[in-house]
Structure 1
Amino acid sequence: MAPYAPTDGISKLAIDQSKHFTEALKEAFKSSGDQQKVAAEKVSELVGGDANLNLGVVSQELRNALTGNDADAKIVAAYVVDDLMQKHAERVEAYLVPLLSVFLDLLADKKPTIRPVAQEAALTIISSANKNSTIRLLPILFAGLDRSKKWQTKKGSLDLVAELSTIAPYQVGRCLPDIIPQVTDCMWDTRKEVKVAAKETMTRVCSVVGNMDIEPFIPALVSCLTNPTEVPECTHKLASTTFVKTVEAPALAIMEPLLKRALAEGKTAVKRQAAVIIDNMCKLMDDPAEAQLFIPKLLPGLKKVIETQADPECREVATRAHETLFVAGGSMEVSEDELKVDYENINKVVIESIAASPAAVKAEIDNFTVDYVTGICYFLVVARNFNKAVFEKEISAYFKAFMNAADLKPLSNEIRDRCFKENKSIFIEDVDCDEGIPDLCNCEFSLAYGGMILLNNARLRLKRGHRYGLCGPNGCGKSTLMRAISNGQLEGFPSRDELKTVFVEHNLQASEAELSVVDFILVDEDLKNTPRKEVEDTLADVGFTPDMQAQGVGTLSGGWKMKLELARAMLQKADILLLDEPTNHLDVKNVAWLENYLTGLTNVTSIMVSHDSGFLDTVCTNIIHYETRKLKIYKGNLSCFVEQKPEAKAYYELESENVKFTFPEPGFLADIKNKGKPIIRLTKCSYQYPGTPKPSINNISVTCALSSRIAVLGPNGAGKSTLIKMLTGEVEPTSGQVWKHPSMRFAYVAQHAFHHIESHLDETANQYIQWRFQSGEDKELLAKETRKLSAEEKEHYKKPVNWEGEKRVLEEIVSRRKFKKSFEYELKWEKCPVEENAWVPREKVREVGLGQAFADRR
């Protein structure tokens, strides 16, 4: 950062118009003792009450007094600055902040009466100034740490840096990479007072890190800066720490000195531990721009360990840390110069924006104000805060003394837009924007889910009639982005009144299952006034026969449900179609129909997520790719995209999947000596959904063995899912017989993702598993049709049965045990003690008419 040194540019006319202030100040200089403060307050009141007073003259006159030889004038001038900053900071800070360097020099003044007054004025300046001007205050304070300065000035500068950490902790945190080297140098000063102050300041500035994982180690980190022998021990402690909090730039900034020293240590163990710390911390970095700040500082040390270290395990850990840091920084290696925000560039932006505004040119904004506003804009760019409201608030506070309120917003927006254009990331730009085609949207936004940042200051530009494939690794937020667009939760995205967006997904609610297909569409809020005939015609166009239109939605297969959602979207006449895995439930014929439908929409834009690479190849005109929490648009279909980004091929290859499931080995089944022997058999089974004119499945027979690997194929609506449900007991056949081995267990993964959990959406995964198995039995099994008793069966079980000469009523089946080649069941009788429970063979239970009570028990 360059030192703060605005040019005054004060005209002779301005000096002449400010003579009354000059005279009042000279009069105040004549006072002494307690009257000096009173006289200074009168001068301050004069400045505060005169809106036309040239504050540049005020600043210059005060500077002249503070740098002169008159001790009384110095004290009065310091009191004036102190009072003005306390009472009129917003109006005068641009003119008085540059005087901070003078007060730092006065801390070493020969006359002891001047030092405390100067210290008080300096503290008031930093505490009253705009917090976002901290980045401009720091170079003044750093200049006070120069070797040529007296020790009192150094100590006073360090004390003020420490105070800033309390006054503006966020701003100090963003500036830690600049602060730490300056304060570290002072920790080696020859003067004891400076060394003590430097250590205290370092501890205080490091406390702004806001990371609970690191805070306990701050004293040790500070001590390491002056005691290199402590580096191994401190590194060992940090390597043993489990980092769980998100790591931001301030946290890595205070760790950087230790990590650089540890990587240069002679001991292999210390180098390995340093690499472990870098790996662990960088995994928790959400912002690539922050990680990039440390790539030029830490990556060379890791490279050296990889290239020179003899221990293969240490090299492996360093390689892993290198990769983690590289990926965290956006998979780009950049130099420190490339990452620096240029202050002169920001100053140029502010001056050019003022020159482009007739109202600002006419206002003749002085150099003091321009330089001060530049410093604030400089910090906002460093912090990557391009919020228009923030820019307007910060800039208007200082330009309102020169301009009308109506002209402030356009000027602040112009400065903000230019700052963004000049400093936005150059590595996340779209390859092609098709300038000749009208935009549907061109917005910048951030997106988070829970505590995770998915997109940070990402730009999305959509063209009318284009078909975009949304690509990225699992969990990056593709469906979350589409849902945010659909729900109108995306900042800057056009509202539903301007742009009609429809989200097409397989998401039928249980409450809608009984509705007919036509009524299902008509209950939609956007379609309730649509003529019924238009709905029926559209459904017919996508293949729904009159009989299918009349049947309940819950009886439709997964493929037909997806076609129903597409028909609803067609009726809504969307500008943007959002499709989440649209081909998942469609057969080949219907996938081809969907491809033709989408490619025929020349006026409708589509965004789709799919793992069907053939579908994306056929349909897409562009690919939107998640890259370092940004969105990058590539021209062409999936194949063209993979040519440019070969690593993206992994999204569609099964063998590249990171998550693997290992299923436990099942136990032995009694009497099943070989894997070809049947364990389940369906014989002449049929099933007809209630309310439908004909069976979905008719007179089928299926036999499965342990060695069976069966694929069920057929067009949408052929009854594939119904067959699986009959095998698992989700439904019971209308006719026919089902036999299963009594010890066989089923694991059922339904076509609809929420099949089992739609009644538990507010529970965590852990809570759901606890609920499901808390009694030692799978509660989901109790919901199966084969486990449910009809009213007639319940009535039948209330009837007494003959048992050992007595009439008894079954209360429950308690347990089961192996008996020869079959099983025995423990029956509990009503109004009988446990001691009279009976162990009854399976065949006998069936004979007495209690077979359904143990059917499908596991």
Structure 2
Amino acid sequence: MSAASESVQSEEVLSELFNKLTVSTPEDVDAAAANISSFLNGSIIEHDVPYEFFQKLEASIKDKKSAVNALEAVAHIASEADLSPSVEPYIVSLIGTICGKAGDKSPEIRAASSKALDAIAKAVTPVAIKDVLKRLVDCLSATSKWQEKIAILSAISILVDTSKAQLALRMTELIPILSEAMWDTKVEVKNAATETMAKATSTIQNKDIEPFIPKLITSIANPNEVPETVHILGATTFVSEVTTAALSIMVPLLSRGLAERDTAIKRKAAVIIDNMCKLVDDPQVVAPFMAKLFPALKANFATIADPEARSVTDRALNTLRRVGAIPEDDSIPEVSTAGDVKVNYDILEFLIKEKNIPQRFEVVKSYIAAIAGDLIDERKIDPESWASAVSPFLTIFLHEKESKEIIEEFRKRSVDNIPQPPIFEDEDDEGEDLCNCEFSLAYGAKILLNKTQLRLKRARRYGLCGPNGAGKSTLMRAIANGQVEGFPTQDECRTVYVEHDIDGTHAETSVVEFVLQDGGVGTEADVRAKLLEFSFSEEMINMPIQSLSGGWKMKLALARAVLKNADILLLDEPTNHLDTVNVAWLVNYLKTCGITSIIVSHDSGFLDNVVQYIIHYEGFKLRKYKDSQNQVS
């Protein structure tokens, strides 16, 4: 049988099943809906979709006489264990129509609508959140029917469970609409919105503000509590990386705090902004909030009389300028559109324009664009993530071979839209370049750096900074092992990883023997002379390594590196296990030895004292700043 004949037969079967559904009694509707669901999720031929069926289904939902039966069918279809990709975009496209029935006068229709919305929320692919959530939020904004609002809030609450990571990135859109619902005149809506807000904010992975989230939610509903909440948070020490989700719940409070009459509250709001935004890793994290925070801080700086409060406000402004990549004219940078559904739809449309895709697949194309938008927002830029997420839907109307090629080109074009932070190459051009290369770095399947520049000069000291898990130590190891593309070879530039945590296999080895074992350090006389230069005594030179303190092990590691004629020293947490005396010695040595160093350290005071430039992980790039860590941390 030809594909066309099979398609006609499928349509005939569906039409017959649908007709049975529309005339089913309340006792029979469950079985009729189950039959439709089973057929839709199993028997649709390749490169076909039940387009006409869903048009009929939508019309039946709108018809008061058949609405309950049609909504039962939706719930059954969405509740299938293996919801077909050929069905999912079309069932999601019904959300607006279903929401419209959730406020119906008929309790049976309202109940069936809520059931259908909940089933869809449980079934959808998590990375399709941008399509699903927009439909729900648009309906929540537009409706005045309280029962409809509660049904939508229930579906959003379910999405927290099914799409937690993806929903966290949508908090900038979600929190304002939930806040508005919390001010609803209907107490049932208020309560449902507050519960949904509490559940949605559980997606915020920030240990610093988690204990205060209930208080933050309360302050949204009761603005009178803003001063007290700002006061409490003003005493908080922020150490966790700050994400868009964290700022989404904090900025409503902070913008209100900046507008308070009391200078003390304005000051504390500025302190919180300064402390939190220092922990922002990407200008695009703070970009959606700049329009609220930056002008308010500037206005306060211009009007606050208290010098100390003005100074704090100025510090917060400068932090926002830096982390938000604000240009010298103080114009607020635009929020990236790389993850916008429309942007990704246009890319997809361009790539498949010669394929003459029938109009009935328009819903699928929009769904794919939403998936791509989420992948961009999550910064999932590897080919595997795109193939697994996009292929099930693209192969609905394309053959697998051509879909692979299009997905990869789709990925590349979409990833290219991710804004790269401006290069702040504050380092002057004077001095000898040891390295000036562009490379990418991955750890397993995880991309850490993508086409980033690294430029190092002789006798300069660099601090390598970024959040935990960014890949700082991975980069250091990759440099040491010659795995960074374009980085000079050991013959061109001697790079030494300074190992001061010497493993137990060398415990009984004498100091001098340990250095000689490594090779390339000269004669024993050379080694002894260098160790004496590093303040080792003759007795210590012949002692086993296990008898050395942490400070002396660091000196030993540095002496060995110098004996290798190192051009670049790589130091990972060099102050671990060092007392203040040895830290001071290390600071002095690194500042006076004339050897280029790259240092990873959580000791901000040490970095402040040593480094001349910070190299910071931001948006899959390395961004360079002049001077010390207090400009980037």
Distance 2:176 2:263 in 1: 27
Distance in 2 (alpha carbons) for counterparts of 1:109 and 1:247: 42
1:538-617 matches, cutoff 5 A: 549=523, 551=525, 553-556=527-530, 565-566=564-565, 609=597
Distance 1:516 1:47 in 2: 71
Displacement of 1:134 after TM fit?
Answer: 1.6
CA contact (8 A) 1:18 1:54 kept: no
Q: Does 2:15 match 1:22?
A: yes
Residue aligning to 1:778: none
Indicate how the Cα distance of structure 1 residues 419 and 512 shifts in structure 2: closer, same or farther if over 3 A, else same: farther
Of residues 141, 145, 168, the one that matches 1:150 is 145
Q: Give the match's secondary structure for 1:213.
A: coil
Distance 1:335 1:60, change over 3 A: farther
Pairwise CA distance, 1:186 = 2.1
Cα distance in 2 for partners of 1:630, 1:31 equals 56
**If the length of structure 1 is used for normalisation, what is the TM-score?**
0.56
Deviation at 1:520, TM superposition (A): 5.0
Offset, 1:319: 1.5
SS at match of 2:94: helix
In structure 2, what residue type is equivalent to 1:79? E
* Aligned residues with identical type, % of pairs: 26
**Contact 2:255–2:293 under 8 Å retained in 1:** yes
CA–CA separation in structure 2 for the residues paired with 1:254 and 1:263: 15
Query: CA–CA distance in 2 between the matches of 1:248 and 1:222?
Result: 18
Distance 1:160 1:362 in 2: 32
Paired position in structure 1 for 2:411: 416
Q: Aligned AA for 1:283? A: K
Please name the residue that 2:607 is paired with.
Answer: none
8 Å CA contact retained: 2:74, 2:116: yes
Matches within 5 A, 1:70-149: 70=65, 73-87=66-80, 88-91=82-85, 92-149=87-144
Q: Which residue of 2 aligns with 1:459?
A: 451
| C-alpha separation in 2, matches of 1:553 and 1:408 | 62
Partner Cα distance (1:196, 1:632) in 2: 44
Partner Cα separation in structure 1 for residue 78 and residue 383 of structure 2: 27
Which stretch has the larger CA shift, 24-33 or 124-133?
24-33
In the alignment, which residue of structure 2 is the partner of 1:32? 25
Question: Which residue of the other structure, out of 43, 48, 63, is the alignment partner of 2:41?
Answer: 48
Structure 1 unaligned spans of 5+: 1-10, 432-438, 448-454, 523-538, 540-547, 570-576, 595-607, 612-622, 635-644, 659-858
CA contact (8 A) 2:181 2:189 kept: yes
Partner of 1:504: 496
| Corresponding residue SS for 1:258 | helix
Match of 2:465 among 476, 484, 488: 476
Distance 1:137 1:516 in 2: 63
Shift of residue 390, structure 1, vs aligned partner: 1.2
Aligned equivalents of 1:562, 1:553: Cα separation in 2: 11
Provide the residue aligned with 1:349 in structure 2: 347
User: Contact conserved, 1:428 with 1:632, CA < 8 A, in 2?
Assistant: no
Structure 1 residue 348: deviation in Å? 0.8
Q: Which residue in 1 is equivalent to 2:336?
A: 339
- Pairing of 1:149-188 with structure 2 (within 5 A): 149-188=144-183
Which whole-Å deviations, capped at 9, do the CAs of 1:123-150 have from their partners, x for residues lacking one?
A: 0101110112122212211222235542
> C-alpha separation between the residues in 2 aligned to 1:41 and 1:145?
30
* Residue number among 292, 300, 304 corresponding to 2:287 in the alignment: 292
Please tell me whether residue 269 in structure 1 is matched to residue 264 in structure 2.
yes
- CA separation in 1, counterparts of 2:195 and 2:457? 56
Instruction: Assess, with a 3 A threshold, how the Cα gap between structure 1 residues 502 and 241 changes in structure 2: closer, same or farther.
Output: same
Structure 1 residues 311, 468: CA separation in 2 closer, same or farther (over 3 Å shift)?
Answer: closer
Ranges in structure 2 where 5+ consecutive residues have no aligned partner? 427-434, 535-558, 572-587, 600-611
Name the residue aligned to 1:210: 205
1:521 equivalenced with 2:514 (yes/no): no
Q: 1:228 aligns with which of 223, 232, 244?
A: 223
For residues 84 and 494 of structure 2, what CA distance do their matches in structure 1 show?
A: 49
User: Residue 41 of structure 2 contacts residue 83 of structure 2 at CA under 8 Å; is this kept in 1?
Assistant: no
Find the aligned partners of 1:399 and 1:470 in 2 and give their Cα distance.
53
**Structure 1 residues 486-501: aligned runs within 5 Å:** 486=479
Q: What are the Cα deviations for residues 447-494 of structure 1, in whole angstroms up to 9, with x where unaligned? A: 9xxxxxxx96453358xxx9866967545389957632235597x859
How far off is 1:257 after superposition? 0.9
Residue 243 of structure 1 corresponds to which residue in structure 2?
Answer: 238
Is 1:444 aligned to 2:440, yes or no? yes
Q: Kindly state the Cα deviation for residue 518 of structure 1 after the two structures are TM-superposed.
A: 8.9
Aligned residue in 1 for 2:554: none
- Residues of 2 paired with 1:199 and 1:86: CA distance? 27
Cα 1:55–1:484 change in 2 (3 A) is: farther
Provide closer, same or farther for how the CA distance between residues 624 and 408 of structure 1 changes in structure 2, counting only shifts above 3 A: farther
Q: Which residue is equivalent to 2:618? A: 629
Q: For the residues of structure 1 that align with 2:178 and 2:236, how far apart are their CA atoms?
A: 27
For residues 361-376 of structure 1, what are the structure 2 equivalents within 5 Å?
A: 366-376=361-371
Distance across 1 between alignment mates of 2:456 and 2:173: 46
SS state at 1:216 partner:
helix
Deviations 1:251-309 (A, max 9, x none): 11101111111111111111112112222222333344313332222111111111101
On the 8 A contact 1:279/1:321 being kept in 2, the answer is yes
Aligned residue for 1:419, secondary structure, equals: helix
Name the SS for the 1:339 alignment partner. Answer: coil
Change (3 A) 1:501 1:372: farther
Give 2:537's aligned residue.
none
Displacement after TM superposition at 1:116 (Å): 1.3
Change (3 A) 1:191 1:172: same
Aligned-residue offset at 1:111: 2.4
Q: CA deviation at 1:160?
A: 1.9
- Paired letter, 2:343: N
Amino acid at match of 2:27: D
The aligned amino acid for 2:277 is C
- Change in 2 beyond 3 A, CA 1:214/1:19: same
CA distance in 2, matches of 1:258, 1:487: 46
User: Counterparts of 1:335 and 1:165 in 2: how far apart (Å)?
Assistant: 32
CA offset at residue 68 of structure 1? 2.3
Cα deviation for residue 244 of structure 1 reads 3.6
| Distance (Å, rounded) in 2 between the aligned partners of 1:128 and 1:118 | 15
CA spacing shift, 1:15–1:197, aligned 2, 3 Å: farther
Q: 1:151 to 1:500 in 2, by over 3 A?
A: farther
SS of the residue 1:144 aligns to: helix
CA RMSD of aligned residues (A): 4.5
TM-score (norm 2): 0.74
**1: CA distance, partners of 2:50 / 2:314:** 58
Structure 1 CA distance, aligned partners of 2:251 and 2:622? 35
1:67 to 59, 62, 68: 62
CA contact 1:292–1:330 (8 Å) conserved in 2: no
**Per chain length, whose mean CA-contact separation is higher, i.e. which structure has more relative contact order (CA < 8 Å, sep 6+)?**
2
Q: Rg larger in 1 or in 2?
A: 1
Distance in 2, matches of 1:314 and 1:204, equals 36
Whichever structure has more strand as a proportion of its residues is 1
**In 1, Cα distance between equivalents of 2:211 and 2:168:** 17
Letter in 1 for 2:496: V
Evaluate the alpha carbon distance shift between residue 494 and residue 413 of structure 1 in structure 2; reply closer, same or farther with a 3 A threshold.
farther
**Aligned-partner Cα distance in 2 for 1:495–1:45:** 58
**Residues 26 and 303 (structure 1 numbering): CA distance in 2 closer, same or farther, change over 3 Å?**
same
Cα 1:45–1:234 change in 2 (3 A) is same
Residue type matched to 1:320 in 2?
A: R
Q: 1:399 to 1:488 in 2, by over 3 A?
A: farther
Question: Could you give the per-residue CA deviations for residues 408-458 of structure 1, whole angstroms, max 9, x where no partner exists?
Answer: 443322111110112332524999xxxxxxx997543479xxxxxxx9645
Contact kept? 1:470, 1:624, Cα under 8 Å: no
Shift of 1:32: 0.5
| Structure 2 equivalent of residue 193 of structure 1 | 188
**How far apart, CA to CA, are the structure 2 residues paired with 1:470 and 1:585?**
12
